[in-house]
Amino acid sequence: MMSWLRGSKAESAGTKQEQPILARLVNVDGWLLGTVLLIMGLGLVMVFSASSARAAHDLGNPYYYLVRQSIYLVLSLAAMYVGMRVPARVWMERGPILLWISIGLLLLVLIPGIGMTVNASRRWINLVLLRFQPSEFFKFGLLVFMAGYVLRKGAALESFRQGLLPVVAILAISGFLLLLEPDMGAFVVAVVIAGGILFLGGLPMRFVLGGGLVVLVLFALLAIIEPYRLARLTAYRDPWAHPFDSGFQLIQSLIAFGRGGVFGVGLGEGVQKMFYLPEAHTDFILAVIGEELGLVGVLTVLLLFVLAALRMFFIARRAEAQDRRFEALLCYGVLIWFSMQALASIGVNLGTLPTKGLTLPLMSYGGSSLLFMALAIGVVLGVSATLQPAEKPAPVGLDYPDQYARRET
Protein backbone atom coordinates (compact mmCIF):
# COMPACT_ATOMS: atom_id res chain seq x y z
CA MET A 1 0.00 0.00 0.00
CA MET A 2 1.32 3.35 -1.06
CA SER A 3 4.79 1.87 -1.45
CA TRP A 4 5.64 4.76 -3.75
CA LEU A 5 6.04 6.88 -0.60
CA ARG A 6 9.28 5.17 0.23
CA GLY A 7 12.21 7.27 -0.78
CA SER A 8 10.00 10.20 -1.83
CA LYS A 9 10.85 13.78 -1.11
CA ALA A 10 8.78 15.94 1.22
CA GLU A 11 6.79 17.45 -1.57
CA SER A 12 3.09 17.54 -2.19
CA ALA A 13 0.55 18.95 -4.55
CA GLY A 14 -0.28 21.32 -1.75
CA THR A 15 2.81 23.27 -2.78
CA LYS A 16 1.34 23.91 -6.18
CA GLN A 17 -0.81 26.88 -6.98
CA GLU A 18 -3.87 26.80 -4.76
CA GLN A 19 -7.36 27.04 -6.18
CA PRO A 20 -9.48 30.09 -5.33
CA ILE A 21 -11.34 29.54 -2.07
CA LEU A 22 -14.78 29.78 -3.70
CA ALA A 23 -13.85 27.06 -6.18
CA ARG A 24 -12.55 24.87 -3.37
CA LEU A 25 -15.79 25.19 -1.39
CA VAL A 26 -17.92 24.43 -4.45
CA ASN A 27 -15.91 21.32 -5.31
CA VAL A 28 -15.94 19.64 -1.90
CA ASP A 29 -17.23 16.08 -1.66
CA GLY A 30 -20.96 16.60 -1.18
CA TRP A 31 -21.61 13.05 0.00
CA LEU A 32 -19.09 13.31 2.84
CA LEU A 33 -20.21 16.79 3.85
CA GLY A 34 -23.90 15.84 3.81
CA THR A 35 -23.32 12.63 5.77
CA VAL A 36 -21.24 14.40 8.41
CA LEU A 37 -23.89 17.10 8.85
CA LEU A 38 -26.58 14.42 9.25
CA ILE A 39 -24.52 12.65 11.91
CA MET A 40 -23.92 15.90 13.79
CA GLY A 41 -27.60 16.89 13.57
CA LEU A 42 -28.81 13.50 14.80
CA GLY A 43 -26.21 13.65 17.54
CA LEU A 44 -27.55 16.99 18.78
CA VAL A 45 -31.09 15.58 18.98
CA MET A 46 -29.96 12.46 20.83
CA VAL A 47 -27.73 14.39 23.24
CA PHE A 48 -30.77 16.40 24.28
CA SER A 49 -32.92 13.29 24.61
CA ALA A 50 -30.26 11.45 26.60
CA SER A 51 -29.37 14.31 28.95
CA SER A 52 -32.55 16.33 29.59
CA ALA A 53 -33.85 14.30 32.55
CA ARG A 54 -30.50 14.18 34.34
CA ALA A 55 -29.81 17.85 33.62
CA ALA A 56 -33.21 18.83 35.03
CA HIS A 57 -32.58 16.77 38.19
CA ASP A 58 -28.95 17.71 38.80
CA LEU A 59 -28.82 21.26 37.42
CA GLY A 60 -32.43 22.41 37.37
CA ASN A 61 -32.22 23.08 33.63
CA PRO A 62 -33.18 20.34 31.12
CA TYR A 63 -31.59 22.34 28.28
CA TYR A 64 -28.16 22.67 29.91
CA TYR A 65 -26.35 20.07 27.79
CA LEU A 66 -28.34 20.96 24.68
CA VAL A 67 -27.21 24.59 24.84
CA ARG A 68 -23.59 23.66 25.43
CA GLN A 69 -23.60 21.07 22.66
CA SER A 70 -25.17 23.61 20.30
CA ILE A 71 -22.31 26.00 21.06
CA TYR A 72 -19.81 23.21 20.46
CA LEU A 73 -21.56 22.38 17.20
CA VAL A 74 -21.28 25.95 15.91
CA LEU A 75 -17.60 26.07 16.85
CA SER A 76 -17.06 22.70 15.19
CA LEU A 77 -18.64 23.87 11.94
CA ALA A 78 -16.29 26.85 12.03
CA ALA A 79 -13.36 24.46 12.64
CA MET A 80 -14.48 22.34 9.70
CA TYR A 81 -14.51 25.45 7.52
CA VAL A 82 -10.99 26.32 8.68
CA GLY A 83 -9.84 22.80 7.85
CA MET A 84 -11.26 23.18 4.35
CA ARG A 85 -9.53 26.50 3.77
CA VAL A 86 -6.02 25.79 5.04
CA PRO A 87 -3.77 24.55 2.19
CA ALA A 88 -2.15 21.14 2.58
CA ARG A 89 1.37 22.63 2.48
CA VAL A 90 0.56 24.64 5.63
CA TRP A 91 -0.44 21.51 7.52
CA MET A 92 2.76 19.79 6.33
CA GLU A 93 4.95 22.69 7.48
CA ARG A 94 3.17 23.19 10.83
CA GLY A 95 2.79 19.51 11.76
CA PRO A 96 5.78 19.40 14.18
CA ILE A 97 4.62 22.62 15.88
CA LEU A 98 1.11 21.25 16.36
CA LEU A 99 2.50 18.04 17.83
CA TRP A 100 4.76 19.72 20.39
CA ILE A 101 2.07 22.21 21.40
CA SER A 102 -0.33 19.33 22.00
CA ILE A 103 2.26 17.44 24.09
CA GLY A 104 2.87 20.61 26.08
CA LEU A 105 -0.87 20.82 26.80
CA LEU A 106 -0.85 17.18 27.93
CA LEU A 107 1.75 18.20 30.49
CA LEU A 108 -0.12 21.37 31.42
CA VAL A 109 -3.36 19.52 32.21
CA LEU A 110 -1.55 17.56 34.95
CA ILE A 111 -0.63 20.72 36.88
CA PRO A 112 -2.94 21.26 39.89
CA GLY A 113 -5.03 24.39 39.53
CA ILE A 114 -4.95 24.20 35.73
CA GLY A 115 -6.22 20.72 34.98
CA MET A 116 -9.73 19.75 36.07
CA THR A 117 -10.49 16.45 37.78
CA VAL A 118 -13.76 14.74 36.85
CA ASN A 119 -14.56 11.17 37.91
CA ALA A 120 -11.01 10.67 39.22
CA SER A 121 -9.48 11.69 35.86
CA ARG A 122 -7.56 14.90 35.20
CA ARG A 123 -8.18 15.40 31.47
CA TRP A 124 -9.59 18.90 31.04
CA ILE A 125 -8.46 22.50 31.18
CA ASN A 126 -11.12 24.92 32.37
CA LEU A 127 -11.59 27.80 29.92
CA VAL A 128 -14.36 29.35 32.05
CA LEU A 129 -17.14 28.98 29.49
CA LEU A 130 -15.89 25.69 28.01
CA ARG A 131 -13.72 22.75 28.92
CA PHE A 132 -10.78 21.85 26.71
CA GLN A 133 -9.44 18.29 26.46
CA PRO A 134 -5.80 18.30 25.26
CA SER A 135 -5.85 14.60 24.32
CA GLU A 136 -8.20 15.36 21.40
CA PHE A 137 -5.85 18.06 20.15
CA PHE A 138 -2.97 15.60 20.52
CA LYS A 139 -4.69 13.05 18.22
CA PHE A 140 -5.05 15.68 15.52
CA GLY A 141 -1.51 17.03 15.98
CA LEU A 142 -0.05 13.52 15.88
CA LEU A 143 -1.97 12.71 12.70
CA VAL A 144 -0.74 15.79 10.85
CA PHE A 145 2.83 15.28 12.08
CA MET A 146 2.94 11.60 11.08
CA ALA A 147 1.71 12.32 7.54
CA GLY A 148 4.58 14.78 7.04
CA TYR A 149 7.08 12.64 8.94
CA VAL A 150 6.66 9.71 6.56
CA LEU A 151 7.35 11.96 3.57
CA ARG A 152 10.36 13.62 5.17
CA LYS A 153 11.95 10.33 6.21
CA GLY A 154 11.32 8.46 2.98
CA ALA A 155 13.84 5.61 2.66
CA ALA A 156 15.00 6.18 6.27
CA LEU A 157 11.93 4.21 7.38
CA GLU A 158 13.97 1.13 6.52
CA SER A 159 16.13 1.88 9.57
CA PHE A 160 14.78 1.41 13.09
CA ARG A 161 17.15 3.98 14.55
CA GLN A 162 16.53 6.71 11.98
CA GLY A 163 12.94 6.01 11.00
CA LEU A 164 11.03 4.30 13.80
CA LEU A 165 12.87 5.25 17.00
CA PRO A 166 11.79 8.95 16.94
CA VAL A 167 8.13 7.88 16.67
CA VAL A 168 8.57 5.41 19.53
CA ALA A 169 10.05 8.20 21.66
CA ILE A 170 7.15 10.54 20.88
CA LEU A 171 4.58 7.86 21.70
CA ALA A 172 6.43 6.95 24.90
CA ILE A 173 6.46 10.55 26.14
CA SER A 174 2.85 11.27 25.19
CA GLY A 175 1.68 7.85 26.41
CA PHE A 176 3.28 8.43 29.81
CA LEU A 177 1.44 11.76 30.12
CA LEU A 178 -1.87 10.25 28.96
CA LEU A 179 -1.62 7.38 31.43
CA LEU A 180 -1.03 9.87 34.26
CA GLU A 181 -4.45 11.45 33.56
CA PRO A 182 -5.36 8.50 33.15
CA ASP A 183 -6.67 8.18 29.56
CA MET A 184 -5.66 4.83 28.13
CA GLY A 185 -8.33 5.07 25.42
CA ALA A 186 -6.67 8.15 23.90
CA PHE A 187 -3.28 6.43 24.06
CA VAL A 188 -4.62 3.39 22.18
CA VAL A 189 -6.13 5.63 19.48
CA ALA A 190 -2.85 7.55 19.15
CA VAL A 191 -0.83 4.35 18.72
CA VAL A 192 -3.25 3.07 16.07
CA ILE A 193 -3.10 6.38 14.16
CA ALA A 194 0.72 6.46 14.19
CA GLY A 195 1.04 2.78 13.34
CA GLY A 196 -1.50 2.98 10.53
CA ILE A 197 0.18 5.92 8.83
CA LEU A 198 3.61 4.30 9.15
CA PHE A 199 2.29 1.10 7.61
CA LEU A 200 0.66 2.93 4.71
CA GLY A 201 3.83 4.96 4.28
CA GLY A 202 5.93 1.88 3.59
CA LEU A 203 7.24 0.75 6.99
CA PRO A 204 8.97 -2.62 6.49
CA MET A 205 6.83 -5.60 7.46
CA ARG A 206 9.34 -6.80 10.05
CA PHE A 207 8.83 -3.57 11.97
CA VAL A 208 5.05 -3.79 11.55
CA LEU A 209 4.86 -7.31 12.97
CA GLY A 210 7.42 -6.72 15.69
CA GLY A 211 5.92 -3.41 16.74
CA GLY A 212 2.42 -4.86 16.76
CA LEU A 213 3.50 -7.67 19.06
CA VAL A 214 5.22 -5.26 21.45
CA VAL A 215 2.14 -3.01 21.53
CA LEU A 216 -0.18 -5.93 22.28
CA VAL A 217 2.02 -7.07 25.17
CA LEU A 218 2.29 -3.51 26.50
CA PHE A 219 -1.47 -2.91 26.43
CA ALA A 220 -2.09 -6.30 28.06
CA LEU A 221 0.26 -5.35 30.91
CA LEU A 222 -1.36 -1.93 31.29
CA ALA A 223 -4.78 -3.59 31.44
CA ILE A 224 -3.92 -6.03 34.21
CA ILE A 225 -1.68 -3.94 36.48
CA GLU A 226 -4.51 -1.49 37.29
CA PRO A 227 -7.35 -3.06 39.32
CA TYR A 228 -10.10 -1.00 37.69
CA ARG A 229 -8.95 -1.94 34.18
CA LEU A 230 -8.79 -5.62 35.13
CA ALA A 231 -12.30 -5.32 36.59
CA ARG A 232 -13.56 -3.95 33.28
CA LEU A 233 -12.08 -6.89 31.40
CA THR A 234 -13.65 -9.33 33.84
CA ALA A 235 -17.03 -7.60 33.60
CA TYR A 236 -16.85 -7.61 29.81
CA ARG A 237 -16.61 -11.39 29.79
CA ASP A 238 -19.55 -11.85 32.19
CA PRO A 239 -21.23 -8.58 33.25
CA TRP A 240 -24.01 -10.41 35.13
CA ALA A 241 -21.44 -11.75 37.57
CA HIS A 242 -20.86 -8.14 38.71
CA PRO A 243 -24.30 -6.51 38.20
CA PHE A 244 -23.88 -3.68 40.71
CA ASP A 245 -20.30 -2.55 40.10
CA SER A 246 -18.03 -3.27 37.13
CA GLY A 247 -20.76 -4.89 35.03
CA PHE A 248 -23.46 -2.30 35.73
CA GLN A 249 -22.84 -0.08 32.70
CA LEU A 250 -22.84 -2.90 30.17
CA ILE A 251 -25.95 -4.53 31.64
CA GLN A 252 -27.90 -1.27 31.48
CA SER A 253 -26.74 -0.75 27.90
CA LEU A 254 -27.91 -4.22 26.85
CA ILE A 255 -31.24 -3.65 28.59
CA ALA A 256 -31.67 -0.45 26.57
CA PHE A 257 -31.11 -2.29 23.28
CA GLY A 258 -33.47 -5.02 24.38
CA ARG A 259 -36.26 -2.59 25.28
CA GLY A 260 -35.92 -0.82 21.94
CA GLY A 261 -36.65 -3.84 19.79
CA VAL A 262 -37.00 -3.15 16.08
CA PHE A 263 -38.62 0.30 16.05
CA GLY A 264 -37.83 1.63 19.54
CA VAL A 265 -40.06 3.01 22.27
CA GLY A 266 -40.10 6.48 20.69
CA LEU A 267 -37.86 9.52 20.72
CA GLY A 268 -37.60 10.88 24.24
CA GLU A 269 -39.51 7.93 25.74
CA GLY A 270 -36.54 5.88 26.93
CA VAL A 271 -36.12 5.11 30.63
CA GLN A 272 -32.57 3.73 30.80
CA LYS A 273 -31.15 7.22 30.45
CA MET A 274 -32.98 8.23 33.62
CA PHE A 275 -30.38 7.40 36.26
CA TYR A 276 -29.84 3.80 35.13
CA LEU A 277 -27.38 4.17 32.26
CA PRO A 278 -24.25 6.12 33.34
CA GLU A 279 -22.83 8.64 30.86
CA ALA A 280 -25.87 8.21 28.59
CA HIS A 281 -25.14 11.37 26.59
CA THR A 282 -21.42 10.62 26.11
CA ASP A 283 -20.07 7.07 26.11
CA PHE A 284 -23.42 5.25 25.80
CA ILE A 285 -25.38 7.45 23.42
CA LEU A 286 -25.79 4.54 20.98
CA ALA A 287 -27.63 2.59 23.69
CA VAL A 288 -30.09 5.47 24.03
CA ILE A 289 -30.57 5.42 20.25
CA GLY A 290 -31.16 1.66 20.43
CA GLU A 291 -33.84 2.06 23.09
CA GLU A 292 -35.67 5.02 21.58
CA LEU A 293 -35.22 4.41 17.84
CA GLY A 294 -34.71 0.66 17.91
CA LEU A 295 -32.80 -1.53 15.50
CA VAL A 296 -33.85 0.74 12.65
CA GLY A 297 -32.23 3.75 14.34
CA VAL A 298 -29.03 1.87 15.16
CA LEU A 299 -28.70 0.55 11.59
CA THR A 300 -29.27 4.06 10.25
CA VAL A 301 -26.44 5.38 12.42
CA LEU A 302 -24.16 2.55 11.32
CA LEU A 303 -25.01 3.23 7.68
CA LEU A 304 -24.12 6.91 8.07
CA PHE A 305 -20.76 6.05 9.63
CA VAL A 306 -19.98 3.48 6.93
CA LEU A 307 -20.89 5.99 4.21
CA ALA A 308 -18.67 8.68 5.75
CA ALA A 309 -15.76 6.21 6.06
CA LEU A 310 -16.16 5.07 2.46
CA ARG A 311 -16.16 8.64 1.15
CA MET A 312 -12.95 9.38 3.09
CA PHE A 313 -11.40 6.22 1.65
CA PHE A 314 -12.35 7.19 -1.91
CA ILE A 315 -10.92 10.69 -1.43
CA ALA A 316 -7.67 9.22 -0.09
CA ARG A 317 -7.44 6.82 -3.03
CA ARG A 318 -8.02 9.64 -5.52
CA ALA A 319 -5.28 11.69 -3.87
CA GLU A 320 -2.99 8.66 -4.03
CA ALA A 321 -3.78 8.10 -7.71
CA GLN A 322 -2.95 11.76 -8.46
CA ASP A 323 0.39 11.50 -6.64
CA ARG A 324 -0.77 13.80 -3.83
CA ARG A 325 1.37 12.08 -1.24
CA PHE A 326 0.81 14.18 1.86
CA GLU A 327 -2.91 14.69 1.23
CA ALA A 328 -3.43 10.95 0.77
CA LEU A 329 -1.76 10.14 4.09
CA LEU A 330 -3.75 12.88 5.83
CA CYS A 331 -7.02 11.42 4.56
CA TYR A 332 -6.02 7.88 5.45
CA GLY A 333 -5.06 9.07 8.94
CA VAL A 334 -8.40 10.80 9.50
CA LEU A 335 -10.15 7.65 8.23
CA ILE A 336 -8.21 5.49 10.72
CA TRP A 337 -9.01 7.84 13.62
CA PHE A 338 -12.71 8.19 12.71
CA SER A 339 -13.29 4.50 12.02
CA MET A 340 -11.30 3.12 14.93
CA GLN A 341 -12.97 5.38 17.50
CA ALA A 342 -16.44 4.71 16.06
CA LEU A 343 -15.89 0.94 16.11
CA ALA A 344 -14.59 1.07 19.68
CA SER A 345 -17.55 3.12 20.91
CA ILE A 346 -20.08 0.92 19.11
CA GLY A 347 -18.37 -2.22 20.40
CA VAL A 348 -18.49 -0.98 23.99
CA ASN A 349 -22.21 -0.18 23.72
CA LEU A 350 -22.99 -3.60 22.24
CA GLY A 351 -20.84 -5.49 24.72
CA THR A 352 -18.35 -6.78 22.16
CA LEU A 353 -15.47 -4.74 23.65
CA PRO A 354 -14.52 -3.90 27.24
CA THR A 355 -15.98 -0.69 28.62
CA LYS A 356 -13.77 2.30 27.75
CA GLY A 357 -14.42 6.01 27.77
CA LEU A 358 -14.47 6.74 24.05
CA THR A 359 -17.12 8.97 22.54
CA LEU A 360 -19.02 8.18 19.34
CA PRO A 361 -17.44 10.61 16.83
CA LEU A 362 -19.56 13.65 15.92
CA MET A 363 -22.52 12.37 17.97
CA SER A 364 -21.63 12.15 21.66
CA TYR A 365 -21.62 15.13 23.98
CA GLY A 366 -18.17 16.68 24.27
CA GLY A 367 -16.75 19.87 22.86
CA SER A 368 -13.11 18.93 22.25
CA SER A 369 -13.94 15.60 20.61
CA LEU A 370 -16.49 17.21 18.30
CA LEU A 371 -14.25 20.19 17.53
CA PHE A 372 -11.11 18.32 16.48
CA MET A 373 -12.93 15.54 14.63
CA ALA A 374 -14.76 18.22 12.65
CA LEU A 375 -11.46 19.98 11.96
CA ALA A 376 -9.94 16.71 10.72
CA ILE A 377 -12.89 16.00 8.44
CA GLY A 378 -12.68 19.58 7.19
CA VAL A 379 -9.11 18.82 6.11
CA VAL A 380 -10.39 15.81 4.12
CA LEU A 381 -13.09 17.96 2.53
CA GLY A 382 -10.45 20.53 1.61
CA VAL A 383 -8.38 17.82 -0.05
CA SER A 384 -11.42 16.59 -2.00
CA ALA A 385 -11.98 20.10 -3.36
CA THR A 386 -8.46 20.32 -4.80
CA LEU A 387 -8.40 16.97 -6.57
CA GLN A 388 -8.84 16.68 -10.28
CA PRO A 389 -12.22 15.22 -11.25
CA ALA A 390 -12.23 11.63 -12.36
CA GLU A 391 -11.94 11.29 -16.12
CA LYS A 392 -15.01 9.91 -17.82
CA PRO A 393 -14.49 7.29 -20.55
CA ALA A 394 -15.08 8.48 -24.09
CA PRO A 395 -18.39 7.22 -25.56
CA VAL A 396 -18.11 4.43 -28.07
CA GLY A 397 -18.99 5.14 -31.70
CA LEU A 398 -18.91 8.96 -31.55
CA ASP A 399 -16.12 10.45 -33.64
CA TYR A 400 -17.04 14.12 -33.40
CA PRO A 401 -15.84 16.50 -30.65
CA ASP A 402 -19.14 17.19 -28.92
CA GLN A 403 -20.73 13.92 -27.96
CA TYR A 404 -24.03 15.63 -27.28
CA ALA A 405 -24.25 17.46 -30.65
CA ARG A 406 -26.29 16.00 -33.46
CA ARG A 407 -24.27 14.59 -36.36
CA GLU A 408 -24.62 16.79 -39.39
CA THR A 409 -25.86 15.08 -42.52
List the domain boundaries for the chain.
Answer: 3-386
pLDDT digits (tens, 9 = 90+) for 120-154: 788 888 887 778 899 999 999 999 999 999 998 88
At residue 134, the pLDDT reads: 94
Q: How confident is the model at residue 298 (pLDDT cuts 50, 70, 90)?
A: very high
Q: How confident is the model at residue 367 (pLDDT cuts 50, 70, 90)?
A: confident
Q: How confident is the model at residue 245 (pLDDT cuts 50, 70, 90)?
A: confident
Which residue, 99, 169, 110, 167, is CA-closest to 137? 99
In whole angstroms, give the CA distance from residue 264 to residue 290.
7
For residue 182, count CB atoms less than 10 angstroms from its CB and return exposed for 0-12, middle for 13-18, buried for 19 or more: middle
From 155-169, 351-365, 388-402, the region with the lowest mean pLDDT = 388-402
Checking if the pLDDT of 271 tops 80, the result is yes
The alpha carbons of the chain give a radius of gyration, in whole angstroms, of: 23
pTM, two decimal places: 0.87
At residue 168, the pLDDT reads: 93
Residue 80 CB-half CA count within 13 A: 21
